[in-house]
Amino acid sequence: MSILIDKNTKVLVQGLTGKEGLFHTKQMINYGTTIVGGITPGKGGEIYLGIPIFNTMEEAINHTDGNVSVIFVPPAFASDAILESIYVNIQIIVCITEGIPVSDMIRIKHFLKGKKSCLIGPNCPGVISTEKSKVGIMPNSVFKKKGNVGIISRSGTLTYEAASQIVKFGYGISTAIGIGGDSIIGISVKEIMKLFLHDSETECIVMIGEIGGKLEIEASEWIYKLKNKKPVIGFIAGQTAPKGKTMGHAGAIIEKKIETAQEKMKIMEKNGIHIVQSPDNIGESVYEVLR
């Protein structure tokens, strides 16, 4: 098993004909992902990389059996692309775009309520199920070995670093998901934890968080109450960040003491999470808890 995507996933690429869309679509195809169509208004009927292009998501759905969309659309138009996918009931929407206005995301979060679609991102690297499918921008070279470790991360770079370390210690990745670092995102850490806990292929979970917000705290408290049997390894980036200062991602801003890296890790450890003080120790920690 895997979560969210697998070898049967059929992907539609919104913004395929742009520079970023073309580059990453090639990489997804090279990984083995099935791309069934692209969407670029005004270019319907054209063919790129052997893939048919449609003017709208509705047109694409009517001509393909696509069930997942990935968005490489500029920030000013990305929210419309997300809303269009929600409207046609795409199961999984992965938005790579960075810099979407907060006001647009508030509107999207409201529109998602009660809908069938699940949004990953925005400002994220996407999701990859090793040896099965990739929907996003993760480097193919890192995710070569299928295994029993799931990764949830708010940081794209640390997702790749953690996966590389885990493989070096002899283990592999079941699914890795970058949820994005913005202040308002789609699927939460807790929701992904639920999926991993029900996934028979995943035996250990790595949770990589950042300063700001309470996503990691909520997930660890929920797991503790659940009497979770799967080990969870946790790390929070931004340990040297001063209070009130944005550090990189739009979501990485400390508003309260509880949102600092140190306080988060204390709470997570209290709730049974195996804490590492440095990302350099993630692979070693996975080895220790699984051996």
Please give the structure tokens belonging to residue 54: 């449609």
Task: From the candidates 63, 198, 249, 274, give the one annotated as an active-site residue.
Answer: 249
- Pair type for strands 133-136 and 146-153: unpaired
Query: In a 3-state reduction of DSSP, which class is residue 35?
Result: strand
Nearest-angstrom CA–CA distance, 118 and 136: 15
249 as an active site residue: the answer is: yes
Please give the structure tokens belonging to residue 265: 């890790």
Report the sign of the C-alpha dihedral through residues 46, 51, 57, 62, in that order.
positive
- For every residue of 213-273, DSSP letters joined together read SSHHHHHHHHHHHHT--S-EEEEEE-TTPPTT---SSTT----SGGGSHHHHHHHHHHTT-
**Beta strands across the sheet bearing 126-129:** 133-136, 126-129, 173-178, 146-153, 204-210, 232-237, 274-275
**Beta strands across the sheet bearing 51-54:** 47-48, 51-54, 34-39, 10-14, 68-71, 92-95, 118-120
SS3 labels along 185-222:
CCCCHHHHHHHHHCCCCCCEEEEEEECCCCHHHHHHHH
Tell me the catalytic residues. Answer: 249
